Amino acid sequence: MTLSGSGRVRSLEEKPAHPRSDRAIVGLYALDGTVVERVRGLTPSPRGELEMVDLLDRYRQDDALRAVALPEDVVWMDLGTHEALARADALLAEAQPSS
């Protein structure tokens, strides 16, 4: 993902071999009421799925996509598998004060 100085998203790439920037989309989205209409216009990828990057690109094309940098103390984990979810759960349990 590349950004303008004001946070406008200039370009999106799905898992690029050679990224154009050190920015990444981590999966935190706030979408407006136009999302359903935008999704209707998407076509499935070669994997047979609707891709989030394609939806975000629709917003970008309409100059309606902004990126917000997360503070450096924010912890982000990919929770795409059961194992990753279990690791995150264990990490959170460790961080909780005992009662």
Closest by CA position to 8, among listed 63, 61, 56, 55: 63
Amino acid in position 50: L
Q: Supply φ then ψ for residue 48, to 5 degrees.
A: 85, 15
pLDDT of residue 17 exceeding 90, the answer is no
Q: Which of 5, 29, 21, 68 is nearest to 13 (CA)?
A: 21
What is the pLDDT at residue 95?
84
d(CA 78, CA 37): 28
Where do the structural domains in the chain lie, given as residue ranges? Answer: 2-72
> 72 and 84 in contact (C-beta within 8 Å)?
no
* Chain segment 39-53, per-residue pLDDT in tens: 998 999 998 999 999
Would you say residue 38 has pLDDT above 90?
Answer: yes
